[in-house]
Every structure is written in structure tokens, then in C-alpha cells.
Amino acid sequence: MLMHLLSFAAGAGIVYVWLTLRRTTAPQQGAERALSGTLAPIRPSAPTDEELEARIIEYLSSNVVYHINDLCQSLEHPKGARYVRSHFHKLMEQGKIRYRDMVYTV
């Protein structure tokens, strides 16, 4: 029983130290950012729909695409593969992309 209590106390101590260290490092990064005078976002903004459609069409014209997942993984959009796939299907509905002989073409 004593061993269980000691193990629990050691684990709780490790978690407490880990959370304390995480809490102290996060404000320092924000403080450095505030001192630099810029309030620009850390991550670049997501490309617009027109840019995404242009990237899809450019990728299809320069590569042979047998499956839509190849395209979705290659573009690496910040909103994910589902977002790219939905725009891909929208372009197919508009007739800008065709599926012929098991290959997607522009």
C-alpha cells in the first residue's frame, strides 16, 4: 500500500513539474512576439479557394493522377485533405476536370 502511494506521489510530482514548465514557456514566446512590435499571425494564412483551384489544376496538368488521394496528399492544405477533395469534386461538377481511362485530366 505504501508503495502505491509513493508511486502516485512521484507521478503527480512529475506531472506538476511538466505542467509548470509548459505554463512558463508559453507566455515568454508571446512576450517576445509583443516586444518585436509585430502582431502578424504565427502561421501563414490558408490559401483562398481560387488559389487552391489553381494549384489543383496545375498539379493535374503536370502529373498523372490515378487517384484523388494522391492529389490531396501532395497539396498539403492547412484545412486538410477533405477540404481539397471537396474543391476537387466541385471542379469535376463544373467540367474543368475529367476522369477518362482511369486518369484525371484537365
Residue 82 neighbours by CB distance under 10 Å: 10
pLDDT exceeds 80 at position 44: no
Cβ pair 104, 65 in contact under 8 A: yes
How far does Cα 2 stand from its chain's mean position? Answer: 47
Does pTM surpass 0.85? Answer: no
pLDDT exceeds 70 at position 91: yes
pLDDT exceeds 70 at position 47: no
Mean predicted confidence (pLDDT) in 18-45: 59
